[in-house]
Amino acid sequence: MAASLNGKTILITGASRGIGLEIALRAAHDGANIVVAAKTAEPNPKLEGTIHSAAEEIRKAGGQALPLVLDVRDDDAIAATVAEAAETFGGIDVLINNASAINLSKTPDLPMKRFDLMHQINVRGTFAMTQACYPHLARAENPHVLVLSPPLNMVPQWFGDHCGYTMSKFGMSMCVLGMAEEFRGAGIGINALWPATLIYTAAMNLVGADPSTCRSPRIVADAAYEILTRDAADCTGNFFLDEEVLGAAGISDFSDYAMTPGAALQKDLFVL
C-alpha cells in the first residue's frame, strides 16, 4: 500500500543499537520520523550506542529523530514518551516493539530477578507500549505494530533449553496473536518478525555468539521495511521470518547479509 515511509512517525523501543537502530536507519532513508526510545543516554563501555548517537545517525541517513530515554517497565515513562512523540510529529503511525532482555540460563540457574526482568521488558513492555500507542495508531493511515518475536512453535526443546527466556519471547508472540485479532476491526496490522539465522548484535556478543555464524541486522531491517509498507488491513496476525519476507519481495540471494561471506550460518533460536 505505502510505497515509502516518508513522513511516517515510527516509535522504536531499544533503538539505540542493533536491530532497532538498523530498522530506524532503513526507514530514515525514506525520510521517516523516528522516535528513538531506549534506556541508554550515556555511553556504556560494554554496549556501544546511545539514544543520541542513534539520533545523529538517523538524521545523517535522511530522517528526523527524537531521542527519548525510556524504560519500558515504567508506565509513567511510557505515557510521557508516547505523548511527546505524538505531540512532536503529529501522531504515531508505527510502533516497533524491539526492546528485549535475554538470559539463556537453565531453570535451576536463573535468578528470579533475571526472570522478572525478561518478563517485564519482553512481555509486559510489549503489551504496555502497544496499549499506550493504540489511540494514536487507531487514527493513523496504514498503522502497524511490529514485534521482534518468534513464531509460536510449541517445541519442547525450546522450553527445555531455556524455559524462562522462551516463556518471555513466546509471551511477546502471544501479544501479536491476541492483539491482531482484537484490533482487526481498527485496521491496525500487528505482526511478528524473527530472523531465520543468528543476527550479530551487542546482545549476541554478550552471550558469546560467533560472528561468523551470524548475519547483519540489515536483513531484519530490510524485512521490516517490506512489512511496514504493506497494507496494514490485509497484513496482520503473521509470524514472519526475515528470509520469507524478502523472498516474497523477489530477493533470493542473502549472501550480502553474512557477517563472514561464505561461512556456515547458524539457525536462530525457535526456528525449525
Specify the CATH number for the domain of residue 51: 3.40.50.720
Name residue 66's beta-bridge partners.
35
Our count of domains for the chain comes to: 1
Distance CA 67, CA 44 (A): 17
Catalytically annotated residue among 134, 165, 225, 257: 165
Give the span between the Cα atoms of 240 and 223, in whole angstroms. Answer: 9
How are beta strands 94-97 and 33-38 bridged, if at all?
unpaired
Domain of residue 152, residue span: 9-257
Asked whether 202 and 191 are in contact (CB, 8 A), the reply is: no
Q: Is residue 23 part of a domain?
A: yes
Residue 241 is assigned to a structural domain of this protein: yes
> Does residue 194 lie in a domain region?
yes
CB count within 10 Å of CB 83 equals 12
For residue 114, tell me if it sits in a domain.
yes
Q: Check: CB of residue 149 under 8 Å from CB of residue 169.
A: yes
Query: Could you confirm whether 225 is annotated as catalytic?
Result: no
Does residue 224 lie within any of the structural domains?
A: yes
What pTM was computed for the model?
0.96
Q: How far apart are CA 205 and CA 217, in angstroms?
A: 13
Q: Tell me the Ramachandran region of residue 235: left when phi exceeds 0, alpha when psi lies from -120 to 50, beta otherwise.
A: beta
264 in a domain, yes or no?
no
- Which cell goes with 38? 531506549
Are 42 and 18 within 8 A, CB to CB?
Answer: no
Residue 52, exposed/middle/buried by CB under 10 A (0-12, 13-18, 19+)? middle
Distance CA 201, CA 221 (A): 13
Residue 1 placed within a domain = no
Based on its alpha-carbon atoms, the radius of gyration of the chain, rounded to whole angstroms, reads: 17
- C-alpha cell at position 84: 511527546
In a domain, 272, yes or no: no
Per-residue pLDDT of the chain (272 residues; tens, 9 = 90+): 457 999 999 999 999 999 999 999 999 999 999 999 999 898 887 778 899 999 999 999 999 999 999 999 999 999 999 999 999 999 999 999 999 999 999 999 999 999 999 999 999 999 999 999 999 999 999 999 999 999 999 999 999 999 999 999 999 999 999 999 999 999 999 999 999 999 998 777 766 778 999 999 999 999 999 999 999 999 999 999 999 999 999 999 999 999 999 999 999 999 99
